[in-house]
Structure formats: C-alpha cells, structure tokens
Structure 1
Amino acid sequence: MRPTRHFSDALHGHNSRFTHQAHATTRAQTHVGFLLLEHFSLLAFTQALDTLVTANLIQPETCASTTFSLSGEAVVSDLGIVITPGQALPASTKLPLDLLVVCGGLRTPLVVSPEISGALQTLARKGTALAGLWNGAWFLGQAGLLEGYRCAVHPEHRGAVAEVARHSHVGTDSFVVDRDRLSAASPTGAFHMVLAWLEQQHGSALTEGITAILAFEASRYRRTTAAAQTNISEPLREAINLMSANLEEPLSQDQIATYVGRSKRQIGRLFQHQMSTTPVRYYLELRITESRRLLQHSDLPLLGVAIACGFISASHFSKCYASFFGYSPSKEKRFGCVKSAPRSTP
C-alpha cells in the first residue's frame, strides 16, 4: 500500500525516514573530506562522519566522504586507534570537495605546515568550505583563512588560535558556522556543526530526520512538536503550541482562534501564508506524528495510542495512519519494550 497523503514541510522531517517516499532531489551529491592529524579526536571525527552517513539512510547518496592524511599514511587517533586514510592531502585539491574538515585533538601538535596551509588556501580559492574540529581551526588561522570569521575551539587552544588569527573572533560556543568557515570545540559540537551545514545544503527536513535517529532519546521521551520556527508570527506560534498541548482532546478551530485572540479566518491565513498548510491539516499531521512516536517508543496498545492522539476510534486512526505511512499502525515497529524469548528447559 502506498501513502496517499504527504506531510507538510513543518512535520516532514520528523517522519521522512518512515514514509518510504522517493526523495527526488535536484541537488548534487555533497562531497566532504576529512584531514586526520596526529592524535585527532576520534569521537569528534566519528560524530561528524556519522551525521553524513545517517543522512544517506534518509536520502540515499546525499553525501560522500573521503579521508586524508598529510602523507596518505596511517594516523593514530587520540584513543590509540589507527586509521588508514583514503588518500594523501595533495589529492584533496583535485577533488570536487564541498567541505574539508581539519580533524585535530587535545594532543594534536600545533606545528606550522606549509603543505596543510597550501592545500587549505587552494581549496579556499576554489570555493570549498573549510572546517576545524577541536583545535583544527588553528590550521585555518595559520593559513590566514579565519580573518573576519567567528570560530569555535576547545578552551585549551583558544589563546593559540587568537594569536595566529588576530582578526577573528574566537568564541566560547561549542560550534560555529560562519559562512564558509565551520568549527567545533567538542564531539557534540562536531555533530551540530555538520548538522547545521547539511541544513544549509539540503534543507531542514533531512536534518530533522537525522536528529530523530541520532538523538533518539529526545524523540523517545518528548512529545511531538514542530521544528523550531524562527520566522513565524507570535499568534501562529501560540496556535501551534496550543495544538501541541492538546492532542488527546483536540481543540476546535473556533477555540484556538479565541485563545489566540484572532478570528478563525485570520488563523487560517497565518497557517497558509507561513506554513503552507491549513490548521486542520497541520493538527492532523501533528497527531499522526505523535501517534507514530508512541507506537514506536511506548507500550500503549493500539487503541490507547489512538485515544492519546485524539482519534475517535481505532478504525479511524488506522485509516488515517495508513494514508500517511502506507501501512497500518498495527504493523509499526515497536521499540518500547523488547522481550527476550523464553529459554527452553532441557
């Protein structure tokens, strides 16, 4: 069975992994390179790389990655794990990279390298975005490529970066995306840095889907809400918050309009102009999205999920669910409680 309804932009990202719809895109594949320096932070590197790999789970072949070392030889990470890169750094200037990430670490020596500086300068001239993990931004600064940019660096290396990039702003954020310069001061910052960059390249639906997978604890325990909307009006924000707080017993459109202090017609216009959907459609999508979360991450029976999300009957719920996901809620994967098979006694 194929879904007959599609989620609107506000909730598409929450559900993109589960709708099994073809993700046609006119964007070219995004190519990211990672320059691994001695004693680089393995966790920061894998957080960044995992974000790209997860993007491909949601939208196949969205991202491609290549690893480099200065000479092409194996590099020892901060955990003593040896990584063999795909190529030597000089090859990076000949590849169609969209982003090159310099992977540093707490014990990565800050040593001037004409080879690294030259490669970074060549890539910058080609329009490749450049990034640094942990103290990787120091090498961007040493190459003269942080002037006028903000950057994030691990606290123990902020002074060193400020010294080589005197006209940059070395802040205390865990990550910074400033035009075509990216930086992260920690493993968590690396995740959010790549996530923010991917949103610029491929849109919020993809990054919301990545967050739902990699930050599953939040999606498991937190009631469904739309993605943070920074460009919507306050009355519309209030209406959305009211809907999110009243899923079990949905409010009428007249009630929402009264609470927000606008007419029903005005609320409809706000949704149409700012969310490209109607209040009724958005409310239904919000309830369907929450029902999927409950099915996957709770032990509620089907009828309990239907009631919790404001559906008058299990049959009505099943029909609506199948129209969005292409299968009935009874066939949804249940992650809430997995019981082991009983052992057979001899």
Structure 2
Amino acid sequence: MERRFFSGAIKGKNLLYLKDSQATTVPTANVGFVLLENFSLPAFTQALDTLVTANLLQAELFATHTFSLDGAEVVSDLGIVIRPDRDLQTTPLESLQLLVICGGLRTPLRMSPALVALLKKAAERGIALAGLWNGAWFLGRAGLLEGYRCAIHPEHRPALAEAVKNSQVTSESYMVDRDRYTAASPNGAFYMVLDWIGNLHGKALVDGIVDILAFEASRFKRVDPKLHFKMTAPLREVVKLMEANLEEPLDLVQLCTYVDRSRRQIERLFRDQLGTSPLRYYLELRLTEGRRLLQHSSLTIVEVALACGFVSSSHFSKCYASYFGHSPSKEKRLNN
C-alpha cells in the first residue's frame, strides 16, 4: 500500500498519532528559566506549557530547567512558591539553547552582578536570550538589546527606553529579533516560545501545539515565525463548509457555488494558502475526524466511516491505513 502523508494544514492536528517516518528524531534542546522575585506565574506557565505540549506531540524535543539568583525558593506574583533546580552559579550554560528571564509586574528593576555576568556569558556562547513581562529590562541593562527590537509590559516601557537608548521598544505583545525573544504578557509568552519552536522544528509542530492550546485561533490562522497569515474570506468559508459537512461531503462544484468563486480560484487559494488541494484537504479533514471518533467514541468502524462521509468501511480503512500507518481496527480506543 502506498503511504501518504498529511499536508501541512492538517499534519499538526495528527502529529501526536504519527509515530513513524512522519516524525524525525532530533537532539533534545535545553531551555532555562531564571525566576526573579514576584515573576509572572501565568507568563512562565504559558511558556512552559508550550514546550511540554511540544514534547507531548514529539517526545523529548525539549528539557526545561529553572534557576534562581541564589538557589532559594522564589515567590511568584500569585503567591505560589517555586523551588528552582539550581542557582545561577551552577547553571550549565553550555547545555542551553534558550535562556529566559522571567519577570513580573512587581519584579524589582534591580540588577544583580551575577545575572549580568550570566547573561553576557550566555550571549557570548550564542545562546538565544528571552525576557518575559519586564524581563527585557534585565537584558537591556546587561547591554544585550542594543540595536534590537523588543517587547515589554507597558508599565515598564519607560524604564527600558531609558536604560537602553539604541533599542526599539515596541507596543507588541511579543517580539522576535534575531536571537532575542521578548514578551510583554502571558499570551505573548505563548507566541514567543511558539516562534522559537517554529524556527527549530517547522510549521507542522507549531500547528499541532496551537491546535491543542489555542484551537480557536488555529482554525483560520497559520502561526509563522515571520508572518501571521490569516485565510482570506472565501477560503475561510470553504473550510467552514467542509467542517460542517463531513458526513455528507459537498463536491467541489457545490463549494464553489456557495462562495461564488470558480474552481480555478478555489484551487489556487488552497494551493497558495494551505499548500494542498481542496479534495486532499477535505479527505484529510474527514480522516482526522475519523481518528477522533475511533479514539473517543464507542462507534463501530462502519459507523465512523459513514459519519465521516465514506461510502464503505473498506474505503475508509484503506485511506486510514495509508495516512496513519495502521488500520482503524488497530487504533487505540481511549474511552474504554
């Protein structure tokens, strides 16, 4: 049987269930979080959850480590105490790919000589540096944002602008400029880390993470490290029609008629914006729903096939096996 692979638009939704040649083995990347006094716990957990979810989709992509200035416990802005792995003096910089400074609304803008030394050493070693909430201020005071664009919470923009004369302090929720990653909010922390992950592992993994953690945003938006691209209105309407008509699929003529576009226009929109054809996208959408039904319902294979618009269970099984590498009967029933 010829093996088929999900297109980029749908691959992310199924990445957790593709345990074969569609996934590649890569070295684990280490991420360090420096937790400052009264750091923003929501921003930290958003960043951490993004990395943990990536590991759920593809095992052992990332390892995370927490540090404090002196190795002691740190109280977050919500009053929850975090016990770090170690202090700055014993931080193994040579193993890190990303170092994140976690600040917060009430984090004092007070620079530690040990932190300055750590950040400069990390920059010299080519480690990507990041700041959450007012974390950019600490990067700036260490002289590591000169000539960079950055993001910081509005309360701390004046302080950063005063501390770093040659950086562009933006009003964005997050900013990526070369190897500097800064976020002004918890939501910004999510997209900041997502951007870093995308640079390392590509769009499919990013789509998979967004589909789990921000599925509403993922339906018609492609999160790209350089460009936030939204589907055009006609394509968005076609995708909505497809999603609403899985049991009785519409043919391409019907889809074109509903959105008042020609077949050629629709095919070009799918090719240019989703990197696939309308028919393939529709098939992969139905197979994805089939996988969900098999895992999370008690429907039989025949019932699942009909619910996903396949004329026979044999056709469904053949298509399913070609994409997932195993037949529907071998799928794990997670509701049992």
Category of TM-score, reference length = shorter chain: 0.7 to 0.9
Contact 1:10 1:226 in 2 (8 A): no
Q: Give the letter aligned to residue 27 of structure 2.
A: A
Matched residues in 2 for 1:278 and 1:107: separation?
A: 51
Classify 1:270/1:277 alpha carbon distance in 2 versus 1 (closer, same or farther; 3 Å). Answer: closer
SS of the counterpart of 2:191? helix
Q: Give the letter aligned to residue 28 of structure 2.
A: Q
Q: Give the letter aligned to residue 31 of structure 2.
A: V
SS of the counterpart of 1:109? coil
Deviation at 1:138, TM superposition (A): 0.7
Deviation at 1:110, TM superposition (A): 0.5
Aligned to 2:76: 77
Deviation at 1:170, TM superposition (A): 2.0
Matched residues in 2 for 1:297 and 1:171: separation?
A: 44
Q: Give the letter aligned to residue 250 of structure 1.
A: L
Contact 1:103 1:134 in 2 (8 A): yes
Deviation at 1:82, TM superposition (A): 2.3
Matched residues in 2 for 1:39 and 1:231: separation?
A: 32
Q: Is 156-165 or 290-299 further displaced after alignment?
A: 290-299
Deviation at 1:26, TM superposition (A): 6.0
Contact 1:93 1:119 in 2 (8 A): no
Q: Which stretches in structure 1 are left out of the alignment for 5+ residues?
A: 339-346
Contact 1:37 1:108 in 2 (8 A): yes
Classify 1:283/1:120 alpha carbon distance in 2 versus 1 (closer, same or farther; 3 Å). Answer: same
SS of the counterpart of 1:282? helix
Matched residues in 1 for 2:95 and 2:330: separation?
A: 46
Give yes or no for the alignment of 1:149 onto 2:148. Answer: yes
Q: Give the letter aligned to residue 141 of structure 1.
A: G
5 Å-filtered alignment, 1:170-209, equals: 170-209=169-208
Contact 1:3 1:322 in 2 (8 A): no
5 Å-filtered alignment, 1:53-72, equals: 53-72=52-71
Contact 1:239 1:260 in 2 (8 A): no
Contact 1:243 1:251 in 2 (8 A): no
Aligned to 2:241: 245
Matched residues in 2 for 1:110 and 1:178: separation?
A: 23
Q: Give the letter aligned to residue 242 of structure 1.
A: V
Deviation at 1:316, TM superposition (A): 3.3
TM-score by length of 2: 0.80
Q: Which stretches in structure 2 are left out of the alignment for 5+ residues?
A: none
Deviation at 1:164, TM superposition (A): 0.7
SS of the counterpart of 2:249? coil
Classify 1:163/1:293 alpha carbon distance in 2 versus 1 (closer, same or farther; 3 Å). Answer: farther
- 1:246-285 residue CA offsets vs partner (Å, 9 max, x unmatched): 4443324797599654659x948984x9866555433321
SS of the counterpart of 1:17? helix
5 Å-filtered alignment, 1:24-43, equals: 24-25=23-24, 27-43=26-42
TM-score by length of 1: 0.78
SS of the counterpart of 1:176? strand
SS of the counterpart of 1:95? helix
Contact 2:67 2:88 in 1 (8 A): yes
Deviation at 1:289, TM superposition (A): 2.5
Contact 2:253 2:263 in 1 (8 A): no
Aligned to 1:341: none
Classify 1:287/1:64 alpha carbon distance in 2 versus 1 (closer, same or farther; 3 Å). Answer: same
Identity between Structure 1 and Structure 2 (%): 51
Matched residues in 2 for 1:226 and 1:322: separation?
A: 29
Matched residues in 2 for 1:76 and 1:314: separation?
A: 56
5 Å-filtered alignment, 1:211-230, equals: 211-215=210-214, 218=216, 227=222
Q: Is 178-187 or 273-282 further displaced after alignment?
A: 273-282
Classify 1:119/1:52 alpha carbon distance in 2 versus 1 (closer, same or farther; 3 Å). Answer: same
SS of the counterpart of 1:288? helix
Give yes or no for the alignment of 1:99 onto 2:98. Answer: yes
Q: Give the letter aligned to residue 241 of structure 2.
A: A
Q: Name the count of aligned residue pairs.
A: 328
